[in-house]
Amino acid sequence: MDRLMGLPLPQCNYYLFKHLNQESVESNLPRFANCVIRFPLEDSSVSGTIIMAEGDPSDAVLFVGISLVLGIACRHALGGTPVPYTLALLLLGIALGALEYGTHHRLGKLGDGIHLWANIDPELLLVVFLPALLFESSFSMEVHQIKRCIMQMFLLAVPGVLISTFCLGAALKLAFPYNWSWKTSLLLGGLLSATDPVAVIALLKELGASKKLSTIIEGESLMNDGIAIVVYQLFYRMILGWDFNWGGLVKFLSEVSLGAVAMGLAFGIASVFWLGFIFTDTVIEISLTLAVSYLAFFTAQEGFEISGILAVTTLGMFYSAVARTAFKEESQQSLHHFWEMVAYIANTLVFILSGVVIAESVLSSDIIFKTQENSWGYLVLLYVLVQVARAIVVGVLFPFMQYFGYGLDWREATILFWSGLRGAVSLALSLSVKRSSDNSPYISPDTGDLFVFLTGGIVFLTLIVNGSTTQFILHFLKMDNLSPAKKRILNYTKYEMLKKALEAFGDLRDDEELGPADWTTVRRYIKSLNDADGEQIHPHSVSENNNILDCMNLKDIRVRFLNGVQAAYWIMLDEGRINQTTANLLMRSVDEALDLVSHESLCDWKGLKSYVNIPNHFKFFQSSIISQKLVTYFTVERLESACYICVGFLRAHRIARAKLHDFIGDSEIAAMVISESEQEGEEARHFLDDVRVTFPQVLRVVKTRQVTYSVLIHLIEYVNNLEKIGLLEKREMIHLHDAVQTDLKKFLRNPPLVKTPKIKDLISANPLLGALPATAREALAGSTKEIMRLSGTTLYKEGSKPTGIWLLSNGVVKWSTKDTSTNQFLHPTFTHGSTLGLYEVLAEKPYTCDIVTNSVVMCFFIETEKILSVLRSDPAVEDFFWRESTIVLVKIMLPRVFEKMSMQDLRTLIAERSILNVYIRGKSFELLPQSVGFLLEGFIRQQGGEEEMLTAPAAILPCPDQSFSQSETLAGAEAGSSYRQVPVYQVETRSRVIIFDIAGFEAGRSLQKSTSSLISHSADRHSGSFGREHSGLINWPQHLLNSSRHDGETSGDNAV
């Protein structure tokens, strides 16, 4: 039996068939632990076949366990040393492979496990490990850095891979004695162009080197792995006899690369959409990211025969850009730790397995030691050529990389050249070539062995030479040094740490049970603060006037401040103060501002302006083909998003200013940064003030959402804390926790929305329509058009023919006129509740001013014909319309007197202290000193005077030559005119005049209202209900219509 163990499979089968029967084989089965026996029985005769298996599959688990233990030991032992962790793993893998081969495969189950893994299918190796490594790496990258460095990554990944492939392919064809064809040489050159600088990236992150450089190197690795595999597939198909013309070549490359990008985006969009329906379930969220990475890779690679690497890389970058804020604080930490662990396990197994494969392939190949004795020398030559090719790639592309993105200096280009390590992708592709060469007429087995030997050797040499010396090169180039500003902050922080330690000792030094502690002993164990003795020096204090250091300090504080702002955004996201979309926008603005801190003041608001202001394409919504309900919905949603942005921006900056002052104290540089922050917030505050006036319900809904979320989160924390301190049992806690979680889930899926009042309610609340008789109101309501207008839209122009009236429901409009006498005013605006264009419609005159929206405006439009038809139905309605029209008219005619008066004051003045009279030709009337009149229709002239005839519309002052300066009060005008003769005006044609009794009123103060007034006094208050939200639309008193008839009757008597 023993002789069988060393025999090849055919001889083993023959021996068993000739000399053993079934019974003897079964009796000796324990000695054939690695054999699978099949006996197809025919009658009583025995015939059989024995197939040598690779071992017990459970042995593979043993290899995994031992590999992880070795990885843990390496990571623990090499912490803080310049030796790369991955280099130690590769050496251990080579040692394991050599040990298993050197002992003639007699390591028992460990040897069987090593043998199983060493003979793993290369494609299976890629499918098992690559998706996890690619997704973790691309997901951990910052999307802003990717955007800025994408062109440099593309240059290195696409033109760089092609240049490297042709350089190495030409060198292999011309300088190596293997007589390979150009296709075979280019095939090896292509698979050697896939970089895997995991050791360099880890080192750059550990040393805190340039984030830009690590992004370029890592992004190049992710992209060129996919491009290198595409190039490998291209030349491999050419070797197999496929013919490509240029059109077919472009089609193939486009389908494989662009199709992979589209596949990654499709999986990303679908999974992120699904993620939105998962509610605080960390296990499901993490499982979804794991599943979608493998499914995307498999679907792309096997289903559509496109690049799985590019698909997963695109997927990870999409998650980094869109879905990072979809995970709350606990889920995000768990997700980070999970993928960090997955990447650690995958890297550990990949590099140990790579070492095993390299050792097994080299030691078991006769061509390396017998046929091609000089292969070791050619391996060293190939390593030199790989470095030369890398230098050519970086050198040729260096001028372009200097131009794009953040640019690139010569020191960074040096590290970029030296970081061209090779890894698992190149090795797996070479193993694939070796496996196909065993049964392929196009590639010889010797060529397959050389591919594995040369590729494995390059992986080993780049890792052991480049990987182990990168830290020394970084130090030599002074790329790992801290700037003077950072050193000063570091020393300052140590003193602050010492103060905190003393504060903690003061709180803990005495104990009721144990008594006092010994500070000297405590201090001896805190060696990290030993150099904090002596006088503390503020980081921004310099002995001399050093402008360079001041600039460095200013840049450093700006960076720290913006980092604090971004940290505040994360906190607000967890607290529910901002939503996921808003958080992405806010954080992106900080990333963009960080790029400009060296030569600009804080400018993170600049990137948010376009999201706060209403974009130009929204003007398309105002066209008649778009439903007004859709216009209202999208406009209000835009306002709501803008409010979230402004509130989040202001709060984050306020938090960052407080934190910066607490940390750095009083400092001129810190004060400059704080001042820049306060100036940035002015525009956001102004926007919120405008919304508070125009659409207060939007702010109310935003605040309601924040409070609701915070209260529910507080309840969850309270219940969890009760269980933690033992006052609630686990079962009780789960019951209460699930109840609150249900409420939170309902809230997140159906949050309170900004409810636009129904047109019926708005009409009822409107001061014009709401005060009309039912018949008149219904007649106008049926023809009322609800319209939403964006800021800057012209409602009508001065001098144009009136087509109708505008009733403002929400928003602010700004008026202007060509009349220079009315140019001296502070707030030429009308707010909600104003009726615009009514006077012009009644008087049949052109519009008296320009009206332009100063914010988003919701209004109603009623055509002129509808107004005139209602006028003819009831004289009281006509009287009421004329009174309503004077509200706008008085602000335009005498803005210096009435511009500070609210709508409530004006309506009270008109309702309770005014008389509207109609005079016929030849009649006259007096204007008392305590009164101001307005000529609405007709022509009048002062008796005994030489003044010109007054034409409607015109203001009638107590004294014709009286004028009011902007600072002069109306009371002063009264005092000045009290000793003058009372003017008498002669009516030239039928005239309509309204006269206000302004006794006791002072301009600039609120009108002293009569306690018997029936007018609502809540105009300037805002609350939650619809009525109170629109309380500024002050309704006329109900008694006005009744009394108006009486006024009409008495006006005739007065006119006689």
Is pLDDT above 80 for 978?
no
User: What average pLDDT does this structure show over 932-951?
Assistant: 83
Residue 398 has pLDDT above 90, yes or no: yes
Please give the model's pTM, rounded to 2 decimal places: 0.77
Q: Is 837 exposed, middle or buried (0-12, 13-18, 19+ CB in 10 A)?
A: buried
Q: Amino acid letter at 308? A: G
Residue at 275: amino acid letter: L
Q: What's the number of CA atoms in the CB half-sphere (13 Å) around residue 312? A: 29
Least confident interval from 49-53, 101-105, 328-332, 412-416: 49-53
Look at residue 658 in the predicted model and tell me its pLDDT. Answer: 93
Check: CB of residue 311 under 8 Å from CB of residue 230: no
Q: What is the pLDDT of residues 749-772, one digit of tens each?
A: 888 888 776 767 777 777 777 777
- The whole-number pLDDT of residue 876 equals 78
Host H or E run for residue 686: helix 668-694
Q: Is the pLDDT of residue 265 over 90?
A: yes
Least confident of 86-100, 229-243, 840-854: 229-243
Least confident stretch, 47-61, 684-698, 773-787: 47-61
Share of the chain above pLDDT 90, in %: 18
Alpha-carbon gap, residue 173 to 179, rounded angstroms: 7
Query: What pLDDT, in 10s, does the model give residues 549-558?
Result: 567 788 888 9
Nearest partner of 315 among 262, 264, 272, judged by Cα: 264
β-strands 991-997, 914-919: how paired? antiparallel
Lowest-pLDDT choice from 512-526, 664-678, 721-735: 512-526
- Banded model confidence at residue 960, pLDDT cuts 50, 70, 90: low
Is it the case that residue 536 has pLDDT exceeding 60? Answer: yes
pLDDT at 635 over 90: no
Say yes or no to pLDDT of 32 above 70.
Answer: no
Q: What is the mean pLDDT of residues 894-902?
A: 76
Distance in angstroms (rounded) separating the CA atoms of residues 990 and 60: 108
Which of 12-21, 338-347, 785-794, 888-897 is the most confident on average? Answer: 338-347
Give dist(CA 618, CA 422) in Å, integer.
52
The answer to whether the CB of 1040 falls within 8 A of the CB of 911 is yes
Between 824 and 616, where is the model more confident?
616
Over residues 215-233, mean pLDDT: 86
Q: Is 41 a residue whose pLDDT tops 60?
A: no
At residue 262 the predicted structure's pLDDT band, cuts being 50, 70 and 90, is very high
Q: Is the pLDDT of residue 142 over 80?
A: yes
- The predicted model gives 420-430 an average pLDDT of 86
Q: What integer is the mean pLDDT of 368-376?
A: 71
The pLDDT score that the predictor gives to residue 930 is 77
Q: Which two tokens stand for residue 80?
A: 């803080």
Helix, strand, coil content of the chain in percent (nearest 5): 65, 10, 30
Tokens of 246: 């240029």
Q: Does pLDDT of 1040 surpass 60?
A: no
Q: Give the pLDDT band (50/70/90) at residue 748.
A: confident
Q: How confident is the model at residue 615 (pLDDT cuts 50, 70, 90)?
A: low
Question: Which pLDDT band, with edges at 50, 70 and 90, does 652 fall under?
Answer: very high
CA-nearest of 948, 953, 926 to 938 is: 953
Residue in the block written with tokens 């629109």: 1030
Would the pLDDT of 842 be above 50?
A: yes
Q: pLDDT confidence of 968, banded at 50, 70, 90?
A: very low
* Local confidence band at 17 (pLDDT 50, 70, 90 cut-offs): very low
How high is the pLDDT of residue 655? Answer: 95
Number of helices (H) and strands (E), helices first, in the chain? Answer: 40, 18
Residue among 191, 201, 224 at smallest CA distance from 466 = 201
The whole-number pLDDT of residue 396 equals: 94
Using omega within 30 degrees of 0 as the cis cutoff, is the peptide bond preceding 953 cis? yes
- The residues with which 857 forms a beta bridge, in sequence order, are 789
Question: Does 628 have pLDDT greater than 70?
Answer: no
- Does residue 925 carry a pLDDT above 90? no
pLDDT at 147 over 60: yes
pLDDT at 400: 92
Q: How far is Cα 743 from Cα 748, in angstroms, rounded to an integer? A: 9
pLDDT at 509 over 80: no
User: Any idea which residue has 């799985």 for tokens?
Assistant: 308
- DSSP string for 104-129: TS-STHHHHHHHHHHT--HHHHHHHH
**Is the pLDDT confidence value at 3 over 60?**
no
Average pLDDT over residues 442-453: 86
* Res 53: pLDDT: 41
Q: How confident is the model at residue 826 (pLDDT cuts 50, 70, 90)?
A: low
Q: Quick one: average pLDDT of 4-18?
A: 42
CA distance 1044 to 876: 6
pLDDT at 566 over 90: yes
- If you count them, how many residues does the chain have? 1056
Task: Supply the pLDDT for residue 111.
Answer: 83
Model confidence at 112, in pLDDT bands (50, 70, 90)?
Answer: confident
Q: pLDDT class for 122, splitting at 50, 70, 90?
A: confident
Of 549, 559, 541, 539, the C-alpha closest to 656 is: 559
Give CA–CA dist 474/415, Å, rounded.
8
Tell me, what's the pLDDT at 820? 60
Structure tokens at 555: 């840049």
Over residues 522-531, mean pLDDT: 75
Quick one: pLDDT at residue 1027?
39
pLDDT at 126: 80
Instruction: Output the pLDDT for position 1056.
Output: 34
Confidence grade of residue 25 (pLDDT, cut at 50, 70, 90)? very low
Identify the pLDDT of residue 163.
94
Highest mean pLDDT among 45-49, 523-527, 528-532, 597-601: 597-601
What DSSP string describes 742-755?
A: HHHHHHHHS-----
Q: How many Å apart are CA 884 and CA 317, to the nearest integer?
A: 61
pLDDT band for position 1002 (50/70/90)? very low
Average pLDDT, the chain: 79
Confidence at residue 372, expressed as pLDDT on a 0 to 100 scale: 63
pLDDT of residue 1005 exceeding 60, the answer is no
Q: Is the pLDDT of residue 134 over 50?
A: yes
Helix H segments across 695-729? 696-724
